[in-house]
Structure 1
């Protein structure tokens, strides 16, 4: 694939769209949590519990990522796509709360495996000087989920049902499965000498000893925790305080999507030039400042949207740059880090 730029470009396009599907599945529940609660006949707190369970899957990701280092990225990426397909179709077919929890859990596990496996695969093929640019391009799928995916989902839910978007995601994920199966080369297994069952444990011992890796994991965890605490009440906040409809909430996320795509665009254009470490410091500092502005701006819908725009812009710039830097912390175990 390294010698075929067109093939690599096609691969990046397909995997970026796949990330787009994973991201819609992950983020769909946030703005439409009240609608899901009504559809499943449960309290809103039950839906926020599902969000917490879904986010907890990120802690299980390293288990799968260890297998990616051992067995290859392609197998794990296909496995994660299978989880997405099964989970989304299950939600669409059987609208039961218990199954809803399980289905979103396995799709969350799939995302937690797919994302670092793709980043590690890119890390093996793209020079460090260009890595921020390529990973930044794939991360456009995150902004795309709010810029395109959530607004369309709002229209679909309003006109059909809250289950319909899951059917559509399941169909597209199945198509992506076969495309990746065909165009992605079978990568080599990890070059680490041990082939025993203790390989993954050995890898994690190596990672734990690296303070810079633990620091990066903690940074990403707490950044995402803060962002999710805001996003989890986003839909209910706008619906209750400003009387917005499902379609209005969906299209309101366009501003968040624009902020994220601008943040990712700044990563692509400036992070490598400024330096990844400096870019992260700048991004997280400005993001913290934007959070402090939110209570002040809660005096009208335009001001709230402006505050959310700033928060998600600086968050996205910082987090995508951090992902680019993390691929070089322990190069031989890229998926695990």
Structure 2
């Protein structure tokens, strides 16, 4: 037209799409460390929690062996570990009050420095050969339990203060990963140090880990923390307000109740493993260690899966299903007399417990207002102080009718509780 010249542009073969050409496959990016990407504040907290959990598990492993070495008594070995939970029963709710009245970051730094100092003094006493009675062991464990009862709910609240709400589940899954992974590494490191250089080096390492946590939290900021209103009332009124909120908010109360059941059903198992291994499986410490390791593998696998791909169902339903699956594992262990069954099934226990904890914590932290977060978190952790009591009740029953029978009965009762909760808690089933 109009005598114009038509210029044919060269064709780039890369621009041609034939009918047989498929669009490029978009690979789904793993979200494992999503809450850490571009978030320096949460990275500081994550590494700090790694240090804190490593220190706790290092102490857990070492204290029992130290008490056994000092006294030659297995009872003192168990009690020295269990006494650490006693301060939680008394002080944990007040730790939550402090977390809502004070700067949470500075409170966590202060308690970490205090625990670092106590570990250093204890290590020096052992090195100077001044550790001559088991009462020193009890005293140290009790003092660190006081620090832990304050520090733990504060660190829990800080997770929500360093990430936006849409990253909460990923952040809590990563936090659970620090616990499960450090349980494995702490056991390995603690055992190697005891065998090679002696008890005191474990506490020197504990000193450095707590101090490292304090250093990491100093530059951290909490952009998602709301201004505290707790200081407008007295501490006792703060405590009452927190308890009233839990009792009035049905979903929070039921989530707390489920966590109470989880603590009573799952948590005593680690304390009972030595007796179960010897009596039910007719085996030694190697098999018991293997059961702990397989449980740890299940826990790490679960936290990796949750942080990477999320949950397999709605979070409330995850809580109910995994409470039931863990109860089934307890029952199977009670019926089992075979190592080939008891060791690998602990993977399911690890999967169940980690899924429950992360799902339950995520729901609680997303529902609770930030002004009450410390107090609610402290009540969530309060049940850990009851673990020795649960273990004692099971142990006393086992001394009468045997560990296998007790675990079977206990497991069946837990299954019944799990089924009732699954049916009755319709509101929890729908939470996500």
Match of 2:375, SS state, is coil
Structure 1 residue aligned with 2:47: 14
- 2:73 is equivalent to residue 43 of structure 1: yes
From the superposition, tell whether residues 249 and 209 of structure 1 become closer, same or farther in structure 2 (CA, over 3 Å): closer
Match of 1:28, SS state, is helix
Q: How many residues align?
A: 329
2:294/2:347 contact within 8 Å kept: yes
Match of 2:198, SS state, is coil
| TM-aligned CA deviation for residue 261 of structure 1 | 0.7
Distance 2:362 2:77 in 1: 32
Q: So what's the TM-score if we normalise by structure 1?
A: 0.84
Q: So what's the TM-score if we normalise by structure 2?
A: 0.67
2:52/2:210 contact within 8 Å kept: no
From the superposition, tell whether residues 131 and 26 of structure 1 become closer, same or farther in structure 2 (CA, over 3 Å): farther
Which one of 117, 121, 124 corresponds to residue 158 of structure 2? Answer: 121
From the superposition, tell whether residues 239 and 177 of structure 1 become closer, same or farther in structure 2 (CA, over 3 Å): farther
Which one of 248, 272, 279 corresponds to residue 318 of structure 2? Answer: 279
- 2:145 is equivalent to residue 108 of structure 1: yes
Unaligned 5+ segments in structure 1 are: none
1:151/1:250 contact within 8 Å kept: no
Match of 1:323, SS state, is helix
More divergent stretch after superposition (262-271 vs 309-318) = 262-271
| TM-aligned CA deviation for residue 281 of structure 1 | 1.1
Match of 1:64, SS state, is helix
Give the alignment of 1:1-337 within 5 angstroms. Answer: 5-25=38-58, 27-28=60-61, 33=64, 35-59=65-89, 60-92=91-123, 93-94=125-126, 95=131, 96-184=133-221, 189-192=227-230, 194-210=232-248, 211-235=250-274, 237-238=276-277, 241-244=282-285, 253-269=292-308, 271=310, 274-300=313-339, 302-331=340-369, 332-337=371-376
Match of 2:344, SS state, is helix
More divergent stretch after superposition (123-132 vs 62-71) = 123-132
**Higher gyration radius (CA):** 2
1:269-317, Cα deviation, whole Å (9 max, x unpaired):
45556222111112111111111111233322x4322132222221121
Distance 2:303 2:59 in 1: 19
1:122/1:135 contact within 8 Å kept: yes
| TM-aligned CA deviation for residue 122 of structure 1 | 2.4
1:22/1:111 contact within 8 Å kept: no
Match of 2:218, SS state, is helix
1:95-144, Cα deviation, whole Å (9 max, x unpaired):
34222222222323333333322232222343333211111101111111
1:227-270, Cα deviation, whole Å (9 max, x unpaired):
3321113246557842346xx86676432221111122233245
| TM-aligned CA deviation for residue 49 of structure 1 | 2.2
Distance 1:62 1:19 in 2: 20
| TM-aligned CA deviation for residue 26 of structure 1 | 5.9
More divergent stretch after superposition (94-103 vs 180-189) = 180-189
